[in-house]
Structure 1
Amino acid sequence: MAQQERAVRTRQAILEAAGAVFAERGYGSTRISDVYQRAGMTKGAFYFHFSSKEQLAQEVLDTQMVSQTGHLPGYAREVKLQEAVDSALLVAHRLHFDSLLQGSIRLSIDQGSDLDRRPPYQAWVDFQTEVLGEAKERGELLPDVDVRMYGELLVGVFSGVQIMSGVMTGWDDLEERIANLYSILMPLIATPETLAELDISPDLGRRLMAEREA
């Protein structure tokens, strides 16, 4: 059991180091040696867990799906629409310090590789659509809202805003930008009663993270 736990920790350390290096250099400029040296591992330890840079990068990329759709396991809000807001602001907060998420985001917009960049986007669209669909069933959304269209819209505009924030401020203002974005979009889909219940504060992600760590 101790050996298995050690292997899990080693694998996670490699993934986190890879996230940091991919975030800094992108896929094309990253060498496998950069990753295992950053992790403080040997070449043999790396190849015990990963067969190639492509496999490693795909796993880093796919962690974004967990970050975006699995923010608080077993967690549910009384107002279902709040969960859509929560997921966006939690990701915005985590981008400040989560090297694995930073690397995944960098890889998702990296055009210089053969990685399949679709799964994280598709998973988040599906998650947002599911949340919006349940919110609509509960009467939280306006009757004519197309939940699939808005699920894709929320993911698309978040992606654009985070790219711009990353370029302009290194994500320092991302939470404020995302809060502003949702403050504009939510009145287009939520009933007035639901809108009055929503928390779209820029510090929401930080508070959710504190709840998870408590």
Structure 2
Amino acid sequence: MAEPKQERAVKTRETILYAAAEIFDECGYSGASISKIMNRAQVTQGGMYFHFKSKRSLAQAVLAHQQEFVHFSVETAGLQKLIDLTFFLARELQNNVLFRASVRLAVEQGEFGARDDTAYQEWVNEFHALLREARNQGELLADVDEAEFANVLVGAYSGIQVFSNVSSERVDLPERLVSMWRYLLPAVATPQARAKFSFPVDPQRLAA
């Protein structure tokens, strides 16, 4: 039986999006081209332009739904869940090309005329929710502002992963996160809470 036209179209779009992510990850926005993406996806020009009208629209599609590219699920809560999430994202940056390309494009978006902090704000909101949970569990010091720290943490994480990418292609990112938390936790967490925290040995297990 022939595959339904709509289902084929969905699969073609996903194939193009994944190929675009690979090219953007390898070459950056400036070094990518529609022809490279078409060759990687093995689609015709008509198939490409049916789904995406330009390289810019492809970049925006890869960038648009960053959190949809990761699937994080653990039974921990509060600060421990936040710690686990940061290590899980490190693993995703090492292994998930869709997420990695989206992160690269968020940094390079000025190259395609964009200035959109949505991807960053989504992580601020995610971190903020976990920090509010930590507050309700009595894990945070009294003078910690959850919203402010969420912004600081997203900024710190962004810088650390960029530095790690330049230094080691993110091989050393987990070790850098251990150092980040070793200095940050005393500034935000109660001594009682800090005594319970651990760093995940195998971030792979955190995948949903």
TM-score (norm 1): 0.87
User: Which is worse superposed, 5-14 or 135-144?
Assistant: 5-14
Please report the RMSD computed on the Cα atoms of aligned residues, expressed in angstroms. 2.0
1:67 deviates by 4.5
1:143 deviates by 1.4
What code does the residue aligned with 1:106 have?
A: R
1:3 deviates by 4.0
Asked if 1 retains the 8 angstrom alpha-carbon contact of 2:139 and 2:189, the reply is yes
What code does the residue aligned with 1:84 have?
A: L
Asked if 2 retains the 8 angstrom alpha-carbon contact of 1:61 and 1:120, the reply is yes
Separation in structure 2 between the aligned mates of residue 18 and residue 49 of structure 1, nearest angstrom: 12
Identity of aligned residues (%): 37
- Counterpart of 2:118? 119
Asked if 2 retains the 8 angstrom alpha-carbon contact of 1:26 and 1:106, the reply is yes
What pairs up with 1:101-112 in 2 under 5 angstroms?
101-110=99-108, 111-112=110-111
- Counterpart of 2:182? 183
Separation in structure 1 between the aligned mates of residue 69 and residue 178 of structure 2, nearest angstrom: 18
- Counterpart of 2:93? 95
Asked if 2 retains the 8 angstrom alpha-carbon contact of 1:26 and 1:107, the reply is yes
1:84 deviates by 1.3
Separation in structure 1 between the aligned mates of residue 139 and residue 69 of structure 2, nearest angstrom: 25
Separation in structure 2 between the aligned mates of residue 130 and residue 143 of structure 1, nearest angstrom: 17
Count of residue pairs the alignment pairs up: 205
Unpaired segments ≥5 residues, structure 1: none
Asked if 2 retains the 8 angstrom alpha-carbon contact of 1:63 and 1:101, the reply is no
1:147 deviates by 0.6
What pairs up with 1:1-214 in 2 under 5 angstroms?
2-67=4-69, 71-72=72-73, 76-77=75-76, 79-110=77-108, 111-201=110-200, 203-209=201-207, 212=208
Separation in structure 2 between the aligned mates of residue 132 and residue 4 of structure 1, nearest angstrom: 42
Asked if 1 retains the 8 angstrom alpha-carbon contact of 2:69 and 2:98, the reply is no
User: Which is worse superposed, 14-23 or 180-189?
Assistant: 180-189
* Moved segments of 4+, more than 4 Å: none
Separation in structure 2 between the aligned mates of residue 66 and residue 183 of structure 1, nearest angstrom: 29
Asked if 2 retains the 8 angstrom alpha-carbon contact of 1:86 and 1:204, the reply is no
Cα deviation digits, residues 120-163 of structure 1 (max 9, x gap):
11111111112101211221211111111110111111111111
TM-score (norm 2): 0.89
What code does the residue aligned with 2:81 have?
A: E
Asked if 2 retains the 8 angstrom alpha-carbon contact of 1:82 and 1:198, the reply is yes
1:62 deviates by 2.2
What code does the residue aligned with 1:205 have?
A: P
